[in-house]
Structure 1
Amino acid sequence: MDKPFKTYRQQLTILRARNLVIKDGSKAIQILKNEGYYNIINGYKDIFLDMPQTKQYGDDRYKAGTTFEHIYALYNFDRNMRAILLKYILKMETSLKTKVAYYFSQTYKQNFNYLDINNFDSSNPQTATKLIADLSSVITKNTKKGALGEQFYHYLDKHKELPLWVLVTKMTLGNIIHFYNGMTMQTKLLVINEIISTYEKTYRVKLLLTPEQEEKFVSNMFAFINIFRNVCAHEERLYSITVKNNNKVPNIALFHKTLPSNFSSHFIDCVIILGLFLSKRDYAAMVGEFSAEIASFAKKLPQNMFNSVLIKMGFSKNWKDDFKLN
C-alpha cells in the first residue's frame, strides 16, 4: 500500500480521526518538525492503541483519553532512560577495558602482544586470526598524525610500541568483548576473579560457582549488556526491548537471589546486571537517576498507561525493590 506524502496538518488530521486528542496543534506540529512523525507515533503508539477497535476498523484507533502529549511523554522518557543507561554502560565498558588490558599485559609482556596468535585460545585459531585482523584495523584507523590519531601516532613514533592499555581506548564494547572471548581461560579467570571478588566483598556475599560457570556467566552478561548499549547508541526504542537470543541471556539468579523467576531479558534485568560490574556508589547513583526519571514520568500519564510501561520494562508493582542487590 502506498504511503503518500502528508503535510504536518494532514498528519494531525489523521491522528485526530484515530481518536487521539491533540490539545495544542501548533505545539504538536513543532514537535513533529523536530522529531518526526515516524519516530514518535510509529515508535511509541503501541501501548496506547485500542486493539479491538484497531482490528475492527483495520486502522489504528487510540484508547479513550489518549493524547499526543502522552505519546510524546513516553518518547522523551525513553530517550532519557537511554541516556542514563548508556552513561553507566560506558563506565562498565571502561572498567572492563582496564581489567582486560591489565591482566593480558601482565601475562604477555612482549611488544604488540595482542598481535601474537599464540597468546589467545588455541582451540579456535580462525577466531583468533579474525580478532587480530580486527585489532590491526583499529590501529590503522587511528594511526594518523593529527588530532584524531595523535595518541597512537605518539606511541608508535616515539616508543615503537602501542600498549594494549592505549589501544583499548579506541575499541568498542563489542571489540573488547570479542577480545575477552578470544583470551585463554587462564587469562579470562584473572579478569573474572577481580570482578566477582570485588562484588562479594562489596555486598558481603559468596557466589558458589565453578571457574567454567563463572566464565560462561560473565561472558553472557557482557554480550547481554552490549545489546542494550547498541540500542542506546543508535537511539532505538528501549523501554519495550526483550532480548530473545537465549545464548545472551545470563542466569541472573547466580548473583541476584530475589529475581530468579522474574528474569525476562528486559530493561530492569540489564540494570541489575550492571550492578555486578559497577562500584556500589555508581550503581546507587544510576538507580537514583532512573528512579527520579520514573517518578517524573509517572506524573505525565494516567496510572493504567504508566503501569503498562513499567510492565513492558520488566518492573513489578514494587519497582523500587527491583533495583536492590542482595
Structure 2
Amino acid sequence: MSKPEKVFKSTTDQLQLLQRRGLVIDDPMFAEEALIRTSYYEIINGYKDLFIDANAEEESFQACTTFSEIYYLYEMDNTLRFAMLSATLSAENLLRSVIAYVLAEEHGHSVKDYQNNRNFRQGKKITHGRSKGKYERELLLQIFSEVYHSTHQPMTYYRETYRDMPPWILVKGLSFGNLQYLFKLMLPGSKMKVIARATGMSSELIDDRFKQSFSEMFDILVAFRNWAAHGGRVYNHRVRKRLSHSPAHARFSVTHSAYQKHGRGRDDILSFIVALSYLRDREIADHFIRLVTSEIYDYVISFPRHEDMLLSQMNIPITLYQGWLHHSK
C-alpha cells in the first residue's frame, strides 16, 4: 500500500503538526524562524529519530521533547560537517604534496617521465561503466590526460607556457578520490615512500599491517569527505568502508574487544579521528577533536539528559570524551 502523497504545509501548519505529535514548541517565534531558514525536512526529518517514542502506535515524540533539542542537534551536526570538510581538505593537501614529491623524486618532473606505464601497477580489469574492459592503469593515465588538457588554472598556464606539467601541478586537478586511485596503483617502493613521508614514520618500521591500515585510512577519509560534501548527517553516520583495529586505536582507548563488540573506531566518526591521527600533521586530528569536544559539551550543557544518548550515537565512550574535555580546559 502506497503512502499518502505529501502536500504543502505552511510553517504554522508544520508547528501544529509537531505539537499534535507531542513535541513541545518551547519558543514559537524561534521555531518558526528556524523552519523558514532551514526547512522542516532538514531539521525534523533529519534529526527526529532519536526523540521518537518507539512504543507509540503512531509517530509521536518522547515526553517533554522540545523543538530546541532537535534543532540544536541539527546545528551541532552542521558544525561537525564543516569541520570534517576542513579536516579532510587539510589531509588532502598533505597527501597531494607527498604523492607529488614521491612521483617527481622517483620518476622525474616531466609528463613523459612520470606518466610512463612502467611507473604504475596494471591493476584490475574494469568490469562495468564507460571504462569497461580497460585495466585500472589505463583509466589512471586517461585521468592524467584529462587534467593535462584542463581549461582550469594553473594547469592551462603550465601546458601553454612549458608544454609540460610537473606532478605537483597535475595533482591539483585530481579529486580526492582520484588521488586515492593514484596511490593505489603506485609501485610498492613508491607507496612505501608516500606512507613514510605522510606519517613521519621511518620506512624500517612500516610493516604490511601498517601499509594496510594506511590504505584503509585513505578509504575512511574519502568516504566521510564525500558524505559530508553532499550534506549528509555526520555525527552518527557509518560509512561503508572499514578501518581495521590497529595500535593507533590504543591512543583513543579503543580495545580490540570494544572494536569487535561495539564497532568503535571501525566506520564511525571515531574511525575518522583515528584515520586523521595517522598523518604527520597531528594538529589536523587535534583540531577536529577539540571542535567535536566543544560541540558535545555545548549540547550536553543545554540538554544534559541526552549525554548518554548522544555519545552512544556517536560511538564515543564517555571516558574518552571526558579525557578530551579535561585536556581542552
Q: Which amino acid aligns with 1:155?
A: Y
After TM superposition, the structure 1 = structure 2 runs for residues 144-293 of structure 1, keeping only pairs within 5 Å, are 149-196=152-199, 198=200, 210=207, 212-243=208-239, 245=240, 248-257=241-250, 258-261=253-256, 262-263=258-259, 264=263, 265-293=267-295
Q: Deviations over 1:219-246 (max 9, x none)?
A: 1110111111112211210011112x3x
What CA distance in whole angstroms lies between the structure 2 residues aligned with 1:123 and 1:157?
Answer: 32
Q: Which amino acid aligns with 2:117?
A: I
Q: Deviations over 1:149-175 (max 9, x none)?
A: 231121111111111101212222111
Relative to 1, partners in 2 of residues 1:27 and 1:321: Cα closer, same or farther, differing over 3 Å?
A: closer
Relative to 1, partners in 2 of residues 1:293 and 1:28: Cα closer, same or farther, differing over 3 Å?
A: same
Give 1:203's aligned residue: none
C-alpha displacement at 1:123, in angstroms? 4.8
Q: Which amino acid aligns with 1:313?
A: M
Q: How many residues align?
A: 303
Give 2:143's aligned residue: 134
Indicate if the aligned counterparts of 2:121 and 2:186 stay in contact, CA closer than 8 A. Answer: yes
For CA contacts below 8 A with separation 6 or more, give which structure has more relative contact order.
1
What CA distance in whole angstroms lies between the structure 2 residues aligned with 1:302 and 1:323?
Answer: 18
What CA distance in whole angstroms lies between the structure 1 residues aligned with 2:201 and 2:187?
Answer: 23
Give 2:132's aligned residue: none
After TM superposition, the structure 1 = structure 2 runs for residues 14-93 of structure 1, keeping only pairs within 5 Å, are 14-53=17-56, 56-57=57-58, 60-93=59-92
C-alpha displacement at 1:96, in angstroms? 0.6
Relative to 1, partners in 2 of residues 1:31 and 1:321: Cα closer, same or farther, differing over 3 Å?
A: closer
Give 1:146's aligned residue: none
Give 1:309's aligned residue: 310
Q: Which amino acid aligns with 1:93?
A: E
Q: Deviations over 1:223-278 (max 9, x none)?
A: 111111112211210011112x3xx3122323332313333221122112211115
C-alpha displacement at 1:280, in angstroms? 2.8
Structure 1 portions without partners, runs of 5+: 144-148, 201-205
Structure 2 portions without partners, runs of 5+: 126-134
SS of match in other structure, 1:21: coil
What CA distance in whole angstroms lies between the structure 2 residues aligned with 1:49 and 1:15?
Answer: 12
SS of match in other structure, 1:20: coil
C-alpha displacement at 1:310, in angstroms? 1.3
Indicate if the aligned counterparts of 1:21 and 1:66 stay in contact, CA closer than 8 A. Answer: yes
Q: Which amino acid aligns with 2:226?
A: N
Question: Are 1:298 and 2:300 counterparts?
Answer: yes
Q: Which amino acid aligns with 1:99?
A: V
Question: What is the percent sequence identity of the aligned residues?
Answer: 26
What CA distance in whole angstroms lies between the structure 2 residues aligned with 1:62 and 1:154?
Answer: 59
Q: Which amino acid aligns with 2:319?
A: N
SS of match in other structure, 1:50: coil
What CA distance in whole angstroms lies between the structure 1 residues aligned with 2:98 and 2:322?
Answer: 31
State the superposition RMSD in angstroms.
2.3
Relative to 1, partners in 2 of residues 1:177 and 1:123: Cα closer, same or farther, differing over 3 Å?
A: closer
